[in-house]
Amino acid sequence: MSTQKKAGTRREEPMMKSGARILVEALERLGVKIIFGYPGGSVLPLYDELTNSGIKVVLSGDERCAGHSAQGYARTTGRVGVCLVTSGPGATNLITPLADARMDSTPIVAISGQVASGNIGKDAFQEVAFQSITMAITKHNYLVTRAEDIARVANEAFHVAKTGRPGPVAIDFSKDAQAMKIDARNVAWDFELRGYHPERRLNTAQIDRVMEAIGKARKPMLYIGQGIVLGGACDELREFAEKTGIPVATTLLSAGAFPASHELNAGPLGMHGAAHTNYAIHEADLVVCLGARFDDRVTGNPKEFAKQAQFIHVDLDPSEINKNVAVQIPVAADVKEALAAMLTRAKDGHLEEWRGRIEELKKKYPMHYKPGSGEIKPQYVVERLSDMTSGKAVVTTGVGQHQMWTWQYYKFEKPRHFITSGGAGTMGFGLPSAIGAQFGRPGELVIDVDGDGSFEMNINDMRTVADNNLPIKVVILNNHMLGMVGQWQRQFFKGKYSSSEFSQDFPNFTAGCRDLYGIPGKRIKRREEVVPALEEMLKSKEPYILDCQIPKEENVYPMIPAGGTIKDIILQEEQGDTPPV
C-alpha cells in the first residue's frame, strides 16, 4: 500500500520557538541595539537567547544603574531605552529609575523576570508583585505569563513609551513564559490599543486667540520646557522667537533647546535660575508656556507667580493644563504643530523697549559668584569647562548644588546635551546616565559633572565604564558633604549640620578608581590647577576622574526659598542693590 501523500496536502511543520527567542526577535524588529541590565535566575532564558542576537547587552553596576543608563540613552538619542533585570530585588531596584523616567517623560521599557506562573502569589523565592508596585510610576505595565502574548506586548510597550507624552513602560515576564516553546506561526505581532489615542487635533481657533494675545502684549515672555525637545520643536521655537522678538526663559530640562548664546535667551528660570530672568517674568504682561508644566521649582508660590501676566499654556498632555496655574488660553496640542501654526500668523512685535529692559536687568543682576582667594570655586570650574568645550559636550549630573552650578554656568548650545534628573531629583543619576549617553553617542564627548555624595551612590558603575573602556570624563565638585542639604541647614536650620558632613580625608576618589578600576585621574585643590587639569582630562582618550576640592560652605545663588516668591529671592551679598519688586 502506497504511503505517498497527494500533492498539495502536505502539512507545514511547526516552527517551535521559545518565548525568550520570540522576545529577542521582537526587540530586533523594534530596532533595539543595546540593553542595560543585570542578570539573575528568572531572566536566564532571555539572557541566553540574547547571545544569539545582534543586540549589545551591557552589564551595569546594578539594576538601578541599568535603569538610569537606559534613561541617559533615551534622553540623548530620542529613542526608547531598554533595561533588563531579574525578579524580586532586581525588579524593585528599578523603582527609582521608573519613577524618575515618569516624572521627566523619558521613554524606557523596563523588562523584568518573574517567577514561574504557577508560583505567582505563593511567596516563591524572589517573587514580588512588580506589576502592582509599578502601577503608579509607569505609563503602562504588563505581567506576561504566555509565550503567545510576548510579541504583541513588546510592540504595544514600545508604542506606548514613545507616543504622546513619553514615559516608562514595565513588562514582567514569568520564567515559564520565557522557556516554553510554541509554534511561531501562532505568535500575534499586531496590536490594537482601542483606549489609547494620544494624538491631539490642533484647535486653530485657540491659535488665533494665542496670536491675538501676543499681538496686544508689550512685555511677553516665552517660558519653555522639555516638551520643546521631546516634540522636536527647537527649530520652530527659534524661528518663532526671532520673528516675534519675544525673549525666551528656559527651565532645567530645556537647557540647550534654545541656544544659550542667542541674544533672545533671557536665561534660566526658577528657584536657582538667574535673578534677571525671574525679575523679567515677574514684570511680564504675557507668559506663553510651551511644553512645560508650571512646576513648583519654577513658580514657587503659584498664586504669586507672574501676577501681572496673562497665561497661555501649550502642552500635549491636557492633564497638565490648569493643574498648577490657572491659564487664560489653553492649547492641548503637539507643541511643534502649534508653533508651526503660530509661525504662519506671527508678526514683528516691535518689542525693543521690553528687550532693552531685560538687558538692563541682566547687567544689574548677572549670574555672579565671589572669586575667592586661590581656592577652587565650583562655578569657575564649570565656566572653564563650558568655554573649553564651546558648550557642546553632552553633560550629565547627579542632583544637588553641582547640578545647579552646571545649569547656571555651562552655556548649552544644543538640545539633548544636558541630561539630569529634574522632577524626581535622583542622586546618583549622573554616572549611569553618562554611560547610557556615551553608548547613545559613541563619538561625542560625554562629561559627568557630579557631587561627591551623588557620585558615591553609584560609584560601582565605574566598573561598567572600565569594562567597556568608555571615554567618559567625571568632574567631581567635592565639598565633602551633602552640599544642598548643608546649604538648607545653614539657611533654614541655624547652621546645624545633621547627617550631612563627610570626612575631609576620604574617600579618595582618584586613588579608589585607579586601584579598583584602573581609571586615571587627578585631585586638585587650587584655582591655578583648574585649567591645566581640565586640559589634561579633555585630551585623554580614556575615562578620567577629576576631583576638585571646593569650599565646604559655598552656596548656590540666587535662591528663591521653596514656596516663596520673587520678593524672597536671596542674592550674593555684594549684589545688594534694591531688587525691582
Q: Which residues pair with 37 in a beta bridge?
A: 59, 84
> pLDDT, tens digit, for every residue of 475-527?
999 999 999 999 999 999 999 999 999 988 788 999 999 999 999 999 999 99
What contacts 422, CB < 8 A, 6 or more positions away?
103, 104, 226, 251, 252, 253
Give residue 372's pLDDT band: very low, low, confident or very high (50, 70, 90). Answer: confident
Residue 215's pLDDT is what? Answer: 96
Residue 9's pLDDT is what? Answer: 52
∠206-301-567 over CA atoms, to 5°? 115
pLDDT at 2 over 70: no
Give residue 186's pLDDT band: very low, low, confident or very high (50, 70, 90). Answer: confident
User: What CATH class is the domain 204-364?
Assistant: alpha beta
Residue 3's pLDDT is what? Answer: 44
pLDDT at 7 over 90: no
Domain 16-186 bears CATH identifier 3.40.50.970: yes
Amino acid at 206: Q
**Cell numbers describing residue 130:** 512588580
Given the C-alpha cell 501676577, which residue does it identify?
Answer: 307
Residue 5's pLDDT is what? Answer: 45
Average pLDDT, rounded, for the chain: 94
What's the start-to-end Cα distance of the chain, in Å? 104
Give residue 373's pLDDT band: very low, low, confident or very high (50, 70, 90). Answer: confident
Query: Is position 392 annotated as part of the catalytic site?
Result: no
Residue 83's pLDDT is what? Answer: 98
* Active-site position among 25, 49, 63, 236: 63
Phi first, then psi: give them for residue 42, nearest 5 degrees.
Answer: -80, -5
* Active-site position among 484, 489, 554, 559: 484
- Rg over alpha carbons for the chain, rounded to the nearest Å, is 26
Torsion, Cα 356 362 364 366, to 10 degrees, reads: -170
> pLDDT, tens digit, for every residue of 12-59?
566 899 999 999 999 999 999 999 999 999 999 999 999 999 999 999
Q: For the residues 126-130, what does the mean pLDDT come to? A: 95
Phi first, then psi: give them for residue 461, nearest 5 degrees.
Answer: -75, -5
For 482-575, where are the alpha helices, taking DSSP H only?
483-492, 509-517, 530-539
> pLDDT, tens digit, for every residue of 240-266?
999 999 999 999 999 999 999 999 999
Write down the domain spans for the chain: 16-186, 204-364, 378-549
Q: What is the rounded CA–CA span in Å between residue 290 and residue 214?
A: 14
The two most distant CA atoms of the chain are separated, in Å, by: 109
Quote the distance between the C-alpha of residue 313 and its chain's center: 22
Give per-residue burial for 447-465: e unless 16+ CB within 10 Å, then b.
bbbbbbbbbbbbbbbbbbb
Quote the distance between the C-alpha of residue 282 and its chain's center: 28
Q: What is the rounded CA–CA span in Å between residue 14 and residue 555?
A: 68
Query: Is position 367 annotated as part of the catalytic site?
Result: no
Residue 211's pLDDT is what? Answer: 97
Write down the CATH superfamily of domain 378-549.
Answer: Thiamin diphosphate (ThDP)-binding fold, Pyr/PP domains (3.40.50.970)
pLDDT at 274 over 70: yes
Side-chain-side CA neighbours of 494 within 13 Å: the count stands at: 0
Q: In terms of DSSP bridges, do strands 34-38 and 169-174 run parallel, antiparallel, or are they unpaired? A: unpaired
Q: Which residues pair with 521 in a beta bridge?
A: 545
Q: For the residues 533-553, what does the mean pLDDT come to? A: 97
> pLDDT, tens digit, for every residue of 400-436?
999 999 999 999 999 999 999 999 999 999 999 999 9
Query: Is position 103 annotated as part of the catalytic site?
Result: no
**Cell numbers describing residue 196:** 489609547
For 356-369, the three-class secondary structure string (H helix, E strand, C coil) is: HHHHHHHHHCCCCC
> pLDDT, tens digit, for every residue of 351-366?
999 999 999 999 999 9
pLDDT at 454 over 70: yes
Assess whether the region 16-186 and the region 378-549 belong to the same CATH fold. yes
Query: Is position 126 annotated as part of the catalytic site?
Result: yes
Residue 577's pLDDT is what? Answer: 57
Residue 575's pLDDT is what? Answer: 59
Q: For the residues 298-324, what does the mean pLDDT come to? A: 95
Phi first, then psi: give them for residue 427, nearest 5 degrees.
Answer: -65, 150
Q: What is the rounded CA–CA span in Å between residue 548 and residue 527?
A: 10
Residue 59's pLDDT is what? Answer: 98
pLDDT at 152 over 50: yes
Residue 220's pLDDT is what? Answer: 98
Q: For the residues 196-210, what does the mean pLDDT come to? A: 92
Are the beta carbons of 328 and 302 closer than 8 angstroms? no
Query: Is position 181 annotated as part of the catalytic site?
Result: no
What contacts 45, CB < 8 A, 6 or more positions away?
18, 19, 20, 175, 178, 179
Give me the sign of the Cα torsion angle 332, 334, 336, 337. negative
Share of residues in the chain with pLDDT > 70 (%): 96
* Active-site position among 15, 125, 216, 506: 125
DSSP conformational letter for 570: B
Phi first, then psi: give them for residue 431, nearest 5 degrees.
Answer: -65, -55
pLDDT at 11 over 80: no
